[in-house]
Structure 1
Amino acid sequence: MNKPAALREAIRAALVAKGHDVALNPDRMALLIQAGSVHSMLTEGLAFQYAYTVELILLDFPGHPDDVMAPLLLWIRQWQPELMANRDSLREGLTFSAEHLGDDKVDLMIQVKLTERCRITSGPEALPVEVEHLDHAEQPEPTWGLLHQVDANGVQVAHCTAHAGA
């Protein structure tokens, strides 16, 4: 499983960039893998998928939750984009709880549901078994532009002049 280490490093780097002492106190940031399972189908090629919940725990965190959530959402957009496909996916796939400690610090527990697709690339008799972790397909950027005019039955009913020259 590659995503937990990537998630930990992304959050650590973001917190260090904001001046938090995670690098000096690594015991204050823990990452647990919970409720894991492996899914595979009997098909011609052997592939499988890890499905698990990662729990990121920040103890005695002195910052604002935005310092964690913003880089976490950027990470999810790159590494688990289907969580952002609709509100229900994100609502169920990203949850958190916090305990306010009273001295402008919180214990923050964040749960993220992740999957990792893998393919076995060696033959059935080949040892060692080789496994390739498959990246998520690049998500295309939206192709629409800014909305400037709304027509109904051929009649302009709204027009935006806020974006000059567009």
Structure 2
Amino acid sequence: MKTNSLREAIVAALPDFATDPDRLAMWIEKGSIRSPMTESRSFEWAYVLNIALENFTGQPAILFLTINDWLRTNQPELLQPGAHKGYAHEVDVIDENTVDMHVKLNLTERIAVERQSDGTDTLQHLDDAEFILSDSLLDDDAPLLKGVSLSGPSWAQR
């Protein structure tokens, strides 16, 4: 499931959550299954992935960049120009240096089902990376990200 790879990406970018994993919670809600009723019997499941980061003292921009990079490969339609879907987040300010963050991602996972000659089925999670748009498809006027420099106070100090 996509939840495992996103957790790995967040922990790699924000190592505090590796040493204290109970501060990073993930759960799924509003799950649904969609099937096109084709001969292949392939289907897709859709769900809202909730990510809660408790007692977060880092830069939210690092979290959002990590999620954006993960989405580019795993759910690229959330970031496509003109899609205006994006994702939601909420912040509870605990004190001047600490917040609780909650992010909600609308995710899907596509499953291909192939019937084998012996009558068994093979299920395969399909990769979403094939849907990534080339930067050349953006308008000529659209500025491209050339680099990132992060400094300044934490979220709660702004």
Range into which the TM-score falls when normalised by the shorter chain:
0.7 to 0.9
Instruction: Give the aligned partner of residue 57 of structure 1.
Output: 52
Q: Which has the higher contact order (CA 8 A, sep 6+)?
A: 2
Q: Secondary structure at the match of 1:111?
A: strand
Structure 2-normalised TM-score? 0.79
**How many percent identity over aligned positions?**
31
CA–CA distance in 1 between the matches of 2:135 and 2:102?
A: 33
Shift of residue 138, structure 1, vs aligned partner: 4.5
1:3-18 equivalent positions in 2, closer than 5 A: 3-16=2-15
CA offsets 1:12-46 (integer angstroms, 9 cap, x no match): 11112xxxx11110000011111111100221111
Q: Secondary structure at the match of 1:88?
A: coil
Distance 1:87 1:115, change over 3 A: same
Shift of residue 135, structure 1, vs aligned partner: 0.8
Distance 1:46 1:12, change over 3 A: same
RMSD: 2.3
Count of aligned positions? 139
CA–CA distance in 1 between the matches of 2:68 and 2:127?
A: 18
Distance 1:147 1:126, change over 3 A: closer
Unaligned runs of 5+ in 1: 149-166
Equivalent in 90, 110, 113 of residue 106 of structure 2: 113
CA–CA distance in 2 between the matches of 1:140 and 1:113?
A: 19
Bigger radius of gyration among the two: 1
Unaligned runs of 5+ in 2: 142-158
Structure 1-normalised TM-score? 0.75
1:144-159 equivalent positions in 2, closer than 5 A: none
Matched, 1:139 2:132: yes
Matched, 1:122 2:115: yes
CA–CA distance in 2 between the matches of 1:52 and 1:27?
A: 22
